[in-house]
Amino acid sequence: MVSDSDLRLIVTQAREGATTRKFSQSVELTLVLKDIDVKKGFNLNEVVILPHTPTKQASICVVGTGDTGTRARKAEVDRVIQPEELDRLGTNKREARKVVKEHDFFLADTALMATVGRAFGQFLGPKGKMPTPMPYGAPIEAIADRLRKSVRIRAKNQLNASTKIGDEKLDDGQLTANASAVLAAVEKKLPQGDKNIRNAMVKFTMGKTAKLALIKKDKDKKRTE
């Protein structure tokens, strides 16, 4: 089991092992899983709202027209794609890949979901970024505010999952709280919960990886019992 004190320890170690740079370094959490048969199609794709918002918030793209597009602009999302742009993206793979890479979350007018799928679903799907459908009148501003504070953590047919939990401008306590929120969300999706967590690691962009020796901890615990 990974406790908050464990997470705080590796967050502190990761910060100590980071080299100072002129830019704000991102902080990444990696969870190594165990006792899961990936051959059975294991797939994890969770969106987690962080308790403490990173300096650089998540980027949001909305595919919509008319009222949806207007309200999306008022919500100050990073990009609004009109239906005619979808046709162009469908014939320009390079630009489609760029759009998928630039944005963390996608929302789309329900009526346009099929068109989105045809245009660049082949690029969104593998990244786990297929748009969330929005029915008419959906509260775009509230949805966008929530997503700006969120991160996505994914694992498909593999036993590790990584995501950013903030940046160096957040203090160790805030980073620990963010890491704990991600861990809790992942545990709920695992077959055996926290028993499927082999290890946890934290790394600053220009630093060394700090990790827990959970296997060693379990062995030491058994020796003392």
The C-alpha angle 80, 86, 89, rounded to 5 degrees, equals 110
Are 11 and 118 in the same domain?
no
Pair of tokens at residue 79: 């990009």
Are 127 and 91 in the same domain?
yes
Cβ atoms within 10 A of the Cβ of 205, count?
Answer: 16
Helices 4-16, 172-189: inter-axial angle, 10-degree rounding: 130
pLDDT at position 67: 87
Cβ atoms within 10 A of the Cβ of 132, count?
Answer: 16
Q: Which of 101, 130, 146 is the endpoint of a domain?
A: 146
Are 154 and 51 in the same domain?
yes
Q: Are strands 105-109 and 132-134 parallel, antiparallel or unpaired?
A: parallel
pLDDT at position 214: 57
| Dihedral angle of Cα 118, 124, 126, 129, to the nearest 10 degrees | -130
Are 158 and 142 in the same domain?
no
- CATH number for the domain spanning 70: value is 3.40.50.790
Are 178 and 141 in the same domain?
no
Are 51 and 159 in the same domain?
yes
Are 207 and 189 in the same domain?
yes
pLDDT at position 223: 44
Burial readout 91-101 (b: 16 or more C-beta within 10 A, e: otherwise): eeeeebeebbe
Q: Which of 88, 116, 146 is the endpoint of a domain?
A: 146
What average pLDDT values come out for the chain (225 residues) when binned by 10 residues? 92 92 92 90 91 94 90 94 86 90 95 89 91 91 96 91 95 97 95 93 95 59 46
- CATH number for the domain spanning 17: value is 3.30.190.20
Are 49 and 160 in the same domain?
yes
- Among 162, 154, 129, smallest CA distance to 63 is for 129
Alpha carbons 214 and 220: distance in angstroms, whole number: 10
Strand blocks (E) in the chain: 26-33, 43-49, 60-63, 79-81, 105-109, 132-134, 150-156, 160-167, 197-204, 210-211
Helix (H) or strand (E) holding 211: strand 210-211
Are 154 and 214 in the same domain?
yes
Give, as one character, the DSSP assignment of residue 20: P
- Among 103, 104, 116, 142, smallest CA distance to 64 is for 116
Are 127 and 201 in the same domain?
no
Q: Which of 82, 113, 146 is the endpoint of a domain?
A: 146
Pair of tokens at residue 46: 């969770």
Domain count, the chain: 2
Are 108 and 135 in the same domain?
yes
**C-beta separation of 157 from 18 below 8 A:** no
Alpha carbons 221 and 212: distance in angstroms, whole number: 15
3-state secondary structure of 120: helix
pTM of the model: 0.87
Full residue range of the structural domain in which residue 81 is found: 60-146
